[in-house]
């Protein structure tokens, strides 16, 4: 059964930033869980140059209804001029786990 749950993806420059964003989002119930994946390499075009950056990836479990507040909060906390903050839908998932996500998000 389709859900309104989302996984937000956000790259960050370092462990300190990753921890601060993850702790804030979970504490404020904008995310039920944040996985911090270390040591990724991002290759991207920025200001007409190809860049290579060592980063960490945040996998943020949230919902479509919470997304606008989550996006604003990440923009407040993130050091990048233009951070990557995108979502992908969770179409299906183990029922108890998806309910746990819902139970640990802010109620709107």
pTM: 0.95
Question: Given strand 85-89, what is the order of strands in its sheet?
Answer: 33-46, 49-63, 5-12, 85-89
Helix crossing, 67-77 with 15-27: angle to 10°?
140
68 pLDDT higher than 80: yes
Average model confidence (pLDDT) across the chain? 96
Specify if 83 maps to a domain.
yes
Residue 97, domain CATH: 3.30.70.120
> pLDDT by residue (tens digit) across 75-104?
999 999 999 999 999 999 999 999 999 999
The confidence band for 1, taking pLDDT boundaries of 50, 70 and 90, is low
Specify if 61 maps to a domain.
yes
> pLDDT by residue (tens digit) across 27-64?
999 999 999 999 999 999 999 999 999 999 999 999 99
Range of the domain at 13: 5-103
Q: Based on the structure, what is the number of domains in the chain?
A: 1
Q: How far apart are CA 36 and CA 13, in angstroms?
A: 12
């Amino acid at each position: 059964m389709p859900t309104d749950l989302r996984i937000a993806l956000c790259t960050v420059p370092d462990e300190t930033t990753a921890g601060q964003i993850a702790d804030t989002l979970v504490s404020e119930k904008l995310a039920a869980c944040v996985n911090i994946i270390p040591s990724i390499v991002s290759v991207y075009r920025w200001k007409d140059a190809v860049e290579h950056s060592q980063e960490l990836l945040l996998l943020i479990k949230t919902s479509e209804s919470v997304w606008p507040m989550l996006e604003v909060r990440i923009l407040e906390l993130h050091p990048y001029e233009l951070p990557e903050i995108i979502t992908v839908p969770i179409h299906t998932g183990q029922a108890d786990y998806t309910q746990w996500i819902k139970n640990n998000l802010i109620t709107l």
